[in-house]
Structure 1
Amino acid sequence: MFGRKKRKDGADEPAQRYDDEYGEYDEYDDADYDETEYEADEYDDSDYDESEYELRAPSGDDTPRMGPHNYEDVADRLAAIADQRLDLGSVILPVPPGGQLQVEMTPEGAPQAVHLATQHGRITVAAYAAPKTAGQWRSVAADLADTLRKDGAQVSVQNGPWGRELHAVTEGADLRFIGVDGYRWMVRLVAAGPSGAADEGQPLVTAARAILGETVVRRGDEPLPVREPLPVVLPQELADQLAAAHQQQLQAQQQAVAAQLAAMQGGPQPGIPTQSQEPPRRGADGSAMQQLGLN
């Protein structure tokens, strides 16, 4: 899941493409996720009112405009509801009521992807560089469907609010991929959940489309290769939390390695008779081996 090799053009190796970009869904089980390291505090939606925070057209028009939106087109309206959005640099997202943030990190501790975990499944939104003309999603969807089928998934092309969507049934999870072409960008959402969760009309799909319809893409002016992922930038408070958690993990790993080396160096030496010793005393937290999680 972390730090897989990509080709120079920004595309993943075919057999790993959807795993790298969307995580490995071999087993859809939130219990296996390291929440203590990568999960932020639960989003507080007690004052959230979707009708109040929708991006609406200017000049007094109360009709919500369905996104995804260009940042430049909605920046003035976005400022008034910034506290109800998650700003990840290249994409700005609404967070569904009861949702939690899960940040996927590289081994070096840099953010790689941000997932929105809901009671129905997990939603991931990412933006990519694209040509000025539309059509990248159609090409990407065809490549993605081919890769999924080669990996044994059952894939069908379905129609959604923005046109082409992919529905995939894999051994570990059901997936729905939704893509939208914009001006020099393409945004792609994947919704992943247990069997049946990605079917048309299910709450996970409804939530995914609502999030994508309110997503804002900040493309920037920097020239980038086609299909290059736009960078993920975490809010400072969340970045500080994750940096501290990552540092604690590294320290714990170093301490565990040091303890193992010390135990090995203090063990029996070849050719030297050993003397019987008393078994190690158990402290309040268990034996040394138990504290290291090795038994």
Structure 2
Amino acid sequence: MIFSRKRADGARHARDERSDELLDSGAEESPQTPSRGPYDVSEAPDAVRLDLGSLQIPAVPDVEVRVQADPQGVIQQVVLVHGPNALQLGVFAAPRSEGIWDEVREEIRQSLFNDGAAAQEVEGEYGTELRARVRTPEGVTDLRFVGIDGPRWMVRGVFQGDAATDPAAAGPLAACLDGLVVDRGLEAKPVREPLPLRLPREVAEQQAGAQEQHEA
């Protein structure tokens, strides 16, 4: 299932260098709206977004939102595509006291190593990233893993294509990541559990109707 978004939205991470510079210099900054996302739903600026439940994806020109969902509309996978580049998104529960990306990144690195793929840590725009080259049925593929810790959540992104080796090539996909909104909810969840994603109700109803017709 594919959604094509035709409007733009951009932002900057809530905990970026610009904010640190302003604080160090004593300059005042509005506390309610960080200059860049991913945003927590409590602090997100108004914008046009596709609401998938725990994730809200900004409308960026020429970016396709591809989702895999079951007949009940529960989403198992979200991938954003722009030209030859792709960004797979996941969002997970985290503890209130600390982030989990450091631990998750090490687990990914170890998993890749066990599969025979070497991974390298590099400092990127979102902090420490993980880059690897893996073998797939389609051939060798470069991957770039990024993680952003938020208040009781973590967003994980996996870039493919040119954006995996050259962050500047991410373009509109990076704008999507910067404009993401996470709605963690108030319900207690185990740490690292994926936060629930669902199709918009009207889309889920269309999908269910199509499934019923197919079965009939």
TM-score range, shorter chain: 0.7 to 0.9
TM-score, normalization: structure 1? 0.59
- Aligned equivalents of 2:212, 2:60: Cα separation in 1: 30
Higher strand share: 2
Q: Is the 8 A contact 1:174 1:192 kept in 2?
A: yes
Q: Structure 1 123/250 Cα, relative in aligned 2: closer, same or farther at 3 Å?
A: farther
- Aligned equivalents of 1:107, 1:235: Cα separation in 2: 13
Aligned position for 1:267: none
Select which of 144, 148, 162 maps to 1:180.
Answer: 148
In the TM superposition, what whole-angstrom CA distance separates every residue of 1:125-170 from its partner, at most 9, and x where no partner exists?
Answer: 2211101122300000000111012112231111112211111211
Aligned position for 2:123: 159
Larger Rg: 1
Displaced runs of 4 or more, over 6 A: none
Question: In the alignment, does 2:31 pair up with 1:69?
Answer: no
Q: Which has the higher contact order (CA 8 A, sep 6+)?
A: 2
Q: Structure 1 145/186 Cα, relative in aligned 2: closer, same or farther at 3 Å?
A: same
In the TM superposition, what whole-angstrom CA distance separates every residue of 1:58-113 from its partner, at most 9, and x where no partner exists?
Answer: x989x970111111122xx32xx2xx211111111113321222211247763212
Percent identical pairs in the alignment equals 37
- Aligned equivalents of 2:55, 2:76: Cα separation in 1: 13
Counting only pairs closer than 5 Å after superposition, residues 209-228 of structure 1 correspond to structure 2 as: 209-228=174-193
Q: Structure 1 247/148 Cα, relative in aligned 2: closer, same or farther at 3 Å?
A: farther
Question: In the alignment, does 2:134 pair up with 1:170?
Answer: yes
- Aligned equivalents of 1:153, 1:95: Cα separation in 2: 35
Deviates more, 1:226-235 or 1:97-106: 97-106
Q: Is the 8 A contact 2:69 2:199 kept in 1?
A: no
Higher helix share: 1
**Is the partner of 2:132 in helix, strand or coil?**
strand
Structure 1 segments unaligned to the other structure (5+ residues): 1-37, 252-295
For 2:103, the aligned partner's letter is S
Q: Structure 1 141/235 Cα, relative in aligned 2: closer, same or farther at 3 Å?
A: same
